[in-house]
Amino acid sequence: MSKHLFIKLLIKSAFFTIGMLLLWIGINTFLSPHIWDGMTISKSALTVEYCEFNDITQFFHQRINTYSNLSYFFFGVLIIQIALEDYKNQNKKSLNRMEQFPLLSVLMGFYFIYLSFGSAFFHASLTYIGQRVDMNGTYGVSITLLSIGVYHVFHKIHLSDTAKYIWIGALVVFIFAFFKIALLVSSSILLPAMILSLTIMNAINYFQFRKERSILLAFLGFALIIIAIKIRTLDVQKVSCDPHSWYQGHALWHFLTALSSFCSYAFFRFENFLPNQKLE
C-alpha cells in the first residue's frame, strides 16, 4: 500500500467520521433523554465515576465522553478500508502475513466500530446494559489484537481459507461469551493481562522480523495505553476535574486507547518504512 493511498484512506475515514458526528449531533438535539427511562442505571452513574457532569436533561447524558468515541469509529473505518484494499490484492505474491488474511482486518475494524457505538451507548445513557456493551467492545478489540499477535508469532503455521473462517467464527463466539466471562473476572485483572500479553507478542515478533517491524509503532502502542491508563485514573480520582469543561480525561482516554490499538494493529499490518518508502 503506497503512502498516497494510505493518506487517501485517512481522508475518507475523516469524512465518514464527520458524517457520523453530524448524525450524533442531530440525535442528541432531537431525541428525548426520557428514552433511557426505565433502564437499569449503571454503578458507574450511581457513584459518579467520571469527572464529566451527568446531564440527564440531554439525550447524551455525558456529551464529551460520548462524542469522543468517534475516535474508535475513525480507526475502525480506516482498518476496514485497508482490509478491502487487501482483498483486491489477493492475487499478488508479495503479500505479508496480515495482507493474506484480510478477514482478520475486517474483524478488527468491526470491533473498533462496535466499541465506538457501545461506549457511546453507555456514556449517553449511563445504563447497566450500555456498560456491558461498552466492555464487550473493549474486550472485542483487545482479543482481536491478541489473535493477530498469535497469528504472527506462530508465523510458520499455514492456515487454509477454511481454517481462517473457523478462526474468525471462533473469535466472534469467544468475544460474545465475554458478556458472561467479564462478570466472573474483574476488568482490572483481565485488561492488564491482555495488554501485557500483547506487549510480549509484539516484542517476540519484533525480534522474529526485526527488519520488517517498526519499533516506533510497538513503542507507541505500549506507551499510549500506559498514558491513557494514567489519565483515566486521574479522571476517576477527580484530579483537576471540571465537570462542565470541554476537556475531559475520560474522553482523552478514548482517543489514546483508539490510537494505541491502531498502532498495535499497524505494527503487524505494515512493514517497517522510511519517509520516502512505501507502506507495505
Cell of 190: 483481565
What phi-psi label fits residue 274: left (phi over 0), alpha (psi between -120 and 50 degrees) or beta? beta
- The C-alpha atoms of residue 108 and residue 110 are separated, in whole angstroms, by 5
Any domain includes 151: yes
Residue holding cell 465518514? 16
**What per-residue confidence (pLDDT) applies to 274?**
43
Q: What residue spans of the chain are helical by DSSP H? A: 3-30, 43-46, 63-67, 70-88, 102-125, 128-153, 161-184, 187-208, 215-236, 249-269
Cell of 72: 474508535
Any domain includes 91: yes
Any domain includes 280: no
Residue 262, Cα to own-chain centre: how many angstroms?
Answer: 7
**What per-residue confidence (pLDDT) applies to 184?**
94
Distances, alpha carbon 238 to alpha carbons 110, 135, 146, 208, 270, in Å: 33, 22, 32, 43, 39
Q: Which residues of the chain have pLDDT under 70?
A: 272-280
Any domain includes 128: yes
For residue 175, what are the domain limits? 3-269
Any domain includes 277: no
**What per-residue confidence (pLDDT) applies to 22?**
98
Any domain includes 274: no
Backbone phi, then psi, for 41, in 5-degree steps?
Answer: -75, 140
> Going by C-beta distance under 8 Å and a sequence separation of 6 or more, which residues neighbour residue 133?
118, 121, 122
80 touches 109 (CB < 8 A): yes
Angle (nearest 5°) at CA 260 between 257 and 263: 150
**What per-residue confidence (pLDDT) applies to 275?**
39
- The C-alpha atoms of residue 277 and residue 60 are separated, in whole angstroms, by 44
Any domain includes 275: no
Report how far apart the first and last C-alpha atoms of the chain are (Å, whole number). Answer: 5
- The C-alpha atoms of residue 81 and residue 21 are separated, in whole angstroms, by 19
Backbone phi, then psi, for 240, in 5-degree steps?
Answer: 50, 45
**What per-residue confidence (pLDDT) applies to 102?**
96
**CA proximity to 127, closest of 252, 237, 37:** 37
**What per-residue confidence (pLDDT) applies to 280?**
56
**What per-residue confidence (pLDDT) applies to 3?**
85
Three-class secondary structure of residue 90 per DSSP:
coil
At position 139, the amino acid (one-letter code) is Y
Q: How many domains does the chain have?
A: 1
- The C-alpha atoms of residue 62 and residue 132 are separated, in whole angstroms, by 17
> Going by C-beta distance under 8 Å and a sequence separation of 6 or more, which residues neighbour residue 136?
114, 118, 175, 176, 178, 179, 182
Any domain includes 262: yes
